[in-house]
Amino acid sequence: MQHRFWLIRHALVDAAALTYLYGTNDVPICDSTMAADAPRYAALAARLPRPARLIATPLSRTQVTAAAIFRAGYPDTPLGIDPAFVEQNFGDWQGLPISGFDARTPHERHPFWPIHAAETPPGGESFDEMVARVGPALDRLAATGPADTIIVTHGGTIRAACAHALKLSAHQALSLSVDNISLTRLEHNDNGWRLISLNEHLFTSRGAACEARGARTTVPQSQGALT
């Protein structure tokens, strides 16, 4: 039995949210960038399979992104909410300024993630614990329902899904680049898992309004504000 997963990272969040570690906090998206990225949503809506099962997380930034895909022309489809695909929980560190994590030495953090790959934040979860949460949820969906599942989710979740599918270490998975509104595709069949594509960009237009205020989509990712 073949099952295809279409994983979409949510829209860019508001510039103010990029100044702190937000993880599972519910933060708003950048409305002006979403409006400017309308051609990208249209390309994404045209690219996605139909029919398909469509899932978002309890955090509004994924649901708002799904709504934008519907507005761009994807057929009206029931939207399921699955907490298994929520972003990594950074516990007591959520809400702290991102500058404090950027100031850590290379031995104290992953080069592309705000904390060390093996680190467990107080009151939160490690990346390996996140993989242990995301992986069984993918397996459950692969065994049921239609042949295609679209999941509008988070950068950390997509990396965790790749770690589960390809048996990557936490350090390896956190080195994968997953940009906002990018598409990553995984497939599961009788032979196992395989990665079809990673970080696809279906349109090159970039919104400028929030970037002018400092909410860039690439530099903050290397600094840790990439959830």
* pLDDT score for 149: 98
Between the alpha carbon of residue 122 and those of residues 22, 93, 119, 125, 126, the distances in Å are 15, 7, 9, 8, 10
Residues paired with residue 54 on neighbouring β-strands, in sequence order: 79, 150
Measured CA to CA in angstroms, residue 96 lies from 23, 77, 105, 129, 146 at distances of: 11, 37, 17, 22, 41
Packing angle between helix 127-142 and helix 155-166, nearest 10 degrees?
70
Provide the 8-state DSSP code for 84: G
Task: Give the CATH number of domain 3-223; options: 3.40.50.10440, 1.10.287.610, 3.40.50.1240, 3.90.1300.10.
Answer: 3.40.50.1240
Cα 75 to the center of its chain, rounded Å = 22
Q: Encoding tokens for residue 146?
A: 């239609």
- The pLDDT profile of the chain, 227 residues, written as one tens digit per residue, is 899 999 999 999 999 999 999 999 999 999 999 999 999 999 999 999 999 999 999 999 999 999 999 999 999 999 999 999 999 999 999 999 999 999 999 889 999 999 999 999 999 999 999 999 999 999 999 999 889 999 999 999 999 999 999 999 999 999 999 999 999 999 999 999 999 999 999 874 444 445 433 333 333 343 334 55
Six-digit token string for 87 = 């972003």
Q: What is the pLDDT of residue 227?
A: 56
- Report the alpha-carbon distance of residue 188 to residue 190 in Å, rounded: 7
Query: What is the predicted pLDDT for the residue at 146?
Result: 86
